[in-house]
């Protein structure tokens, strides 16, 4: 059985692609580098990260991009003996305007070196590429209308002006007229278009309702690629809107695939909300994850196999295999290669931020936590609602402007960190830095809780259980001691602080160093571990 989510912890906007008996899912990475995550499976039950293709400056440079900007909604396809990756680089998302640039890159193998990209357009986001049976290719994206509601298209869509389509080729770029082929349903906010063809119909699957609790997968069809498109009898194929007790929420934005043996599946993004502090409210620390549902065809329309719109937690996979059990991950930084579980922020020049040498990860102190340019923060996704993470480092700061340690991080306004720094009158000390999501001011919590440290390696541990987290510290082989009091872990989530409507990523835990004096003080991390609770 497949147990949803299949890609836990910040894996949104899943583009689903089959090549023979191999299945691939590409997901958004936003400001995290390298760009786009691609997972592979042959049974749809267990998935392995096999590529992050946007890994050099010519493909992606997102220095200066805002939080939740960067890579939105990639589309992965296979045609002409190669993989095609379509992606958006969002340079601005706040306010009336969206500066979103759309590109295409190719590679003969999923884990190879991808081509330099073709620039396509900037009219909107969530682009995709459809390869028709006659060899022609078509580019789709939603069109953004900065003028707002009432200025054209469907008024329910606000600034979402429907789905536009235009022919494209590698040699000529965009060809001929661009047409708006579907305004969407009354749910509005129509985005994430994907085309596929079956039994003489062109099917257009989209996401609607916004990426919160009103989200949905919508479907329309036409005999002609240019339309007109008729709505699905139920408008939507997947949605958990209006079902607050369902364990899966926020469902939408996915893609259909027919398997090699004729079965039918649809991916979707999803969230798993848990109770907030003191049991009040709800929040999604793992961000938007990837789920999958089995489908059936009736009267040339796609439906969930179980009926209705609510996707089940468990569905039948392609093979009689069990999901991989959660396990502890220990990283020792040997061999000169960063573990694929880790990413950093924004820059295509990681040598400015870190290096691996002498069995250690060396972070070079750069700009402050939350910089949009050079921030030395190397972290992995939180994939479980309860876990312990631990690291050991050597660091000798000379000023309070230098710090290094363990961080739980969502964005520049939402993080907690336990660091080694230098406090006036104390010297080397363990300090808590905490920003509770108070955008747009973005101040640090005044409760720094400095604890004097003797010489030697320092270890930090964080224990996260639901909406609470606690830091611990030790020097050398001494006992562990609590550092400060419990902190609000719900801050490190989509809903924390500024809230879900402009927060698109998920919680990370990792290692950080900064040196706002400009001296580039270095910290050496000997190990890191991530241990999910049962």
The residues facing 163 across adjacent strands are 142, 182
The H or E element that residue 319 is part of is none
Q: What is the DSSP string of 458-525?
A: EEEEEEEETTEEEEEEEETTS--EEEEEEEEGGGSSSSSTT-GGG--S--EEEEEEEETTSS--EEEE
Closest CA relative to residue 230, chosen from 259, 202, 194, 264: 202
CA torsion sign for 232, 233, 234, 238 is: negative
Closest CA relative to residue 402, chosen from 510, 525, 511, 519: 519
| Cβ(40)–Cβ(50) below 8 Å | yes
What radius of gyration, in Å, describes the C-alpha atoms of the chain? 23
Tokens representing 400?
A: 């309070």
Please name the residues in contact with 280: beta carbons below 8 A apart, sequence gap of 6 or more.
none
Q: How crowded is residue 234: how many other Cβ atoms within 10 Å of its Cβ?
A: 14
Measure the CA–CA gap between 23 and 260, rounded to whole angstroms: 10
Number of H helices, E strands in the chain: 0, 41
Query: Looking at 365-457, which runs of residues are DSSP E strands?
Result: 376-381, 386-394, 402-411, 414-423, 427-436, 451-452
Tokens representing 340?
A: 């694929």
Question: In angstroms, what CA-CA distances link 403 with 114, 370, 374, 449, 508?
Answer: 37, 14, 15, 14, 19
- Percentages helix, strand, coil for the chain (3-state, rounded to 5) are 5, 50, 45
CA torsion sign for 490, 491, 494, 497 is: positive
Query: Looking at 170-310, which runs of residues are DSSP E strands?
Result: 173-182, 191-198, 201-208, 216-222, 230-239, 249-252, 256-258, 264-271, 274-275, 282-283, 289-298, 301-304
Q: Which is catalytic among the residues 374, 390, 392, 495?
A: 374
| Cβ(90)–Cβ(125) below 8 Å | yes
- State how beta strands 314-315 and 2-3 pair: antiparallel
Annotation says 374 is catalytic: yes
Task: State the Cα angle at 29 between 25 and 207, rounded to 5°.
Answer: 65
Measure the CA–CA gap between 420 and 525, rounded to whole angstroms: 12
Residues forming the active site: 374
């Amino acid at each position: 059985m497949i147990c949803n989510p299949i890609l836990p912890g910040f894996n949104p906007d899943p583009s689903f692609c089959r090549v023979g008996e191999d299945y691939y899912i590409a997901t958004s990475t936003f400001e995290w580098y390298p760009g786009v995550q691609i997972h592979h499976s042959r049974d749809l039950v267990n998935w392995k990260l096999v590529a992050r293709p946007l890994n050099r400056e010519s493909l992606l440079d997102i220095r200066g991009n805002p939080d939740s900007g960067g890579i939105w909604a990639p589309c992965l396809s296979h045609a002409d003996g190669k993989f095609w990756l379509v992606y958006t680089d969002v340079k601005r998302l706040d306010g009336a305007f969206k500066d979103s640039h759309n590109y295409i890159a190719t590679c003969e193998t999923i884990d190879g070196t991808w081509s330099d990209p073709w620039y396509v357009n900037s009219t909107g986001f969530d682009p995709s590429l459809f390869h028709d049976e006659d060899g022609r290719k078509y580019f789709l994206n939603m069109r953004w209308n900065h003028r707002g509601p009432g200025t054209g298209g469907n008024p329910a869509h606000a600034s979402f002006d429907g789905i536009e389509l235009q022919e494209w080729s590698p040699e000529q770029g965009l060809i001929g007229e661009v047409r708006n082929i579907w305004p969407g349903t009354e749910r509005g906010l129509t985005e994430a278009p994907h085309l596929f063809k079956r039994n003489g119909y062109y099917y257009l699957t989209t996401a609607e309702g916004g990426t919160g609790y009103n989200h949905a997968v919508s479907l329309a069809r036409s005999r002609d690629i240019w339309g007109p498109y008729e709505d699905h009898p139920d408008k939507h194929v997947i949605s958990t809107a209006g079902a607050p007790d369902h364990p899966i929420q926020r469902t939408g934005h996915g893609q259909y695939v027919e398997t090699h043996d004729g079965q039918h599946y649809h991916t979707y993004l999803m969230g798993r909300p848990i109770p907030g502090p003191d049991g009040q409210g709800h929040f999604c620390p793992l961000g938007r994850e990837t789920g999958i549902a089995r489908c059936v065809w009736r009267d040339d329309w796609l439906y969930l196999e179980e009926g209705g719109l609510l996707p089940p937690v468990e569905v039948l996979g392609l093979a009689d295999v069990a999901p991989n059990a959660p396990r502890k991950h220990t990283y020792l930084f040997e061999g000169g290669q960063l573990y694929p579980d880790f990413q950093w922020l924004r820059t295509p020049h990681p040598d400015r931020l870190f290096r691996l040498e002498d069995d250690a990860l060396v972070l070079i102190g750069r700009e402050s936590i939350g910089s949009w340019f050079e921030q030395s923060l190397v972290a992995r996704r939180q994939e479980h609602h309860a876990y312990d993470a631990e690291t050991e480092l050597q660091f000798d700061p000379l000023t309070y402007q230098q710090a290094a340690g363990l961080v739980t991080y969502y964005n520049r306004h939402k993080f907690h960190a336990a660091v080694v720094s230098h406090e006036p009158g104390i010297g080397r000390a363990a300090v808590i830095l905490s920003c509770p999501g108070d955008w747009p001011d973005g101040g640090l919590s005044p409760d720094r809780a400095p604890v004097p440290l003797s010489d030697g390696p320092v270890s930090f541990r964080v224990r996260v259980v639901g909406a609470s987290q606690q830091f611990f510290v030790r020097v050398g082989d001494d006992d562990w001691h609590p550092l400060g009091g419990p902190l609000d872990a719900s801050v490190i989530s989509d809903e924390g602080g500024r809230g879900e409507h402009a927060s698109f990523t998920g919680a990370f835990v990792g290692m950080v160093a900064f040196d706002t004096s400009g001296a580039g003080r270095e910290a050496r991390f000997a190990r890191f571990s991530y241990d999910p609770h049962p």
